[in-house]
Amino acid sequence: MGPVNDTSVTEFVLTGLSQTREVQLVLFVIFLSFYLFILPVNILIICTVRLDPHLSSPMYFLLANLAFLDIWYSSITAPKMLVDFFVERKTISFGGCIAQLFFLHFVGASEMFLLTVMAFDRYAAICRPLHYATIMNRRLCCVLVALSWTGGFVHSIIQVALIVRLPFCGPNELDNYFCDITQVVRIACANTFREELVMIFSSGLISVVCFVALLMSYAFLLAMLKRHSSSGESTSRAISTCYSHITIVVLMFGPSIYIYARPFDSFSLDKVVSVFHTVIFPLLNPIIYTLRNKEIKAAMKKLVNRCIFCKEK
């Protein structure tokens, strides 16, 4: 196959989540509620970390960056999905499809790398407490966040470069509510074994390796903390934070491994896992972090009360 893309398909047809009108309306209400929760809560987290001087530690700086990525990640698929519930023929242009899968992988991979940075932050805080402020200074935090974004960008460029070289000459129906490499590769008019192999390696294998490494690192940290469980409230808070991070890691990497670490064949659970990956995960992220973190919960309440008081004045 040559480097030139002989695409004759100008748009893709999305099958969506359901063809039943009543089910579509129910899903619209549910997902709109989710999206209207994700946006303000994550914005509130960012504003709280930014405005509260007590939340100046690296952990909260990274949490604010995670909240920003969650806003972006949920906005890649949710708005079009909500609009498509009221459209009989759900279509997306070829360029729109490429843009959607580019940003999906860019932000998704950046978030994975950021979770790895957050694990390193916890390691420094727990294993090197006396040197923590020196190790995790603001400059290093900014560099690590920038590297996470750069890694996500490079990863996404690889996916897009492989997709745009493929010829699409006939079938244009994607069995999902958004564009992703697993569906697009499936309808290409060529042997895509080599492309699938590279995508599985770049998306699936990296997800598996990062997932196992993160679980092992958090297991090590928890073992250390439980050995010093008599140290008081600070140890209990560190254990709680680790459990929050582990929960997020499982929720992020589990669906990703299911989708990308296998041949791109169609399975009955694909749409369910995709919904969890693109809609439910960004919803659970702020809930888990805010419910398990007393400091940020108190700071958020203080900020909201201050805003209400200012309006009343």
312 pLDDT tier (thresholds 50, 70, 90): low
Which pLDDT value is given to residue 147? 96
Q: Is the pLDDT of residue 116 over 80?
A: yes
- 3-state class (DSSP) for residue 13: strand
Are residues 208 and 48 in contact, defined by beta-carbon separation less than 8 angstroms? no
Which pLDDT value is given to residue 223? 86
Q: How far apart are CA 23 and CA 185, in angstroms?
A: 29
- 3-state class (DSSP) for residue 87: coil
The pLDDT tens digits of the residues spanning 199-250 come to: 888 888 888 988 998 999 988 888 888 777 655 677 777 888 888 888 888 8
The CA-atom distances, in angstroms, between 55 and each of 18, 63, 129, 146, 305 are 44, 10, 17, 21, 17
Q: Is the pLDDT of residue 2 over 70?
A: no
Q: Is the pLDDT of residue 97 over 90?
A: yes
**CATH placement of domain 11-303:** 1.20.1070.10
Which pLDDT value is given to residue 230? 57
Only one residue has tokens 């439980």, namely 226
Which pLDDT value is given to residue 159? 92
Which pLDDT value is given to residue 3? 47
Q: Is the pLDDT of residue 7 over 80?
A: no
Average the pLDDT over 155-180 and give the result: 90
Q: Where are the domains of the chain?
A: 11-303
The pLDDT tens digits of the residues spanning 13-34 come to: 999 998 889 999 999 999 999 9
Q: Is the pLDDT of residue 1 over 50?
A: no
Average the pLDDT over 283-305 and give the result: 82
Q: Is the pLDDT of residue 46 over 90?
A: yes
> What is the average pLDDT score of the chain?
88
Q: Is the pLDDT of residue 157 over 80?
A: yes
Tokens of residue 121, six digits = 């932050």
What does the H/E/C string look like for the chain? CCCCCCCCCCEEEECCCCCCHHHHHHHHHHHHHHHHHHHHHHHHHHHHHHHCHHHCCHHHHHHHHHHHHHHHHHHHHHHHHHHHCCCCCCEEEHHHHHHHHHHHHHHHHHHHHHHHHHHHHHHHHHHCHHHHHHHCCHHHHHHHHHHHHHHHHHHHHHHHHHHHCCCCCCCCEECCCCCCHHHHHHCCCCCCHHHHHHHHHHHHHHHHHHHHHHHHHHHHHHHHHHHCHHHCHHHHHHHHHHHHHHHHHHHHHHHHHHHHCCCCCCCCCHHHHHHHHHHHHHHHHHHHHHHCCHHHHHHHHHHHHHHHHHHHC
State the pairing for strand pair 11-14/91-93: antiparallel
62-76, 91-105, 138-152, 263-277: the lowest-pLDDT one: 263-277
Contacts of residue 305, defined as CB under 8 A and 6 or more positions apart, other chains included, come to: none
Which pLDDT value is given to residue 111? 92
Average the pLDDT over 195-200 and give the result: 89
The CA-atom distances, in angstroms, between 49 and each of 61, 118, 214, 248 are 7, 16, 25, 19
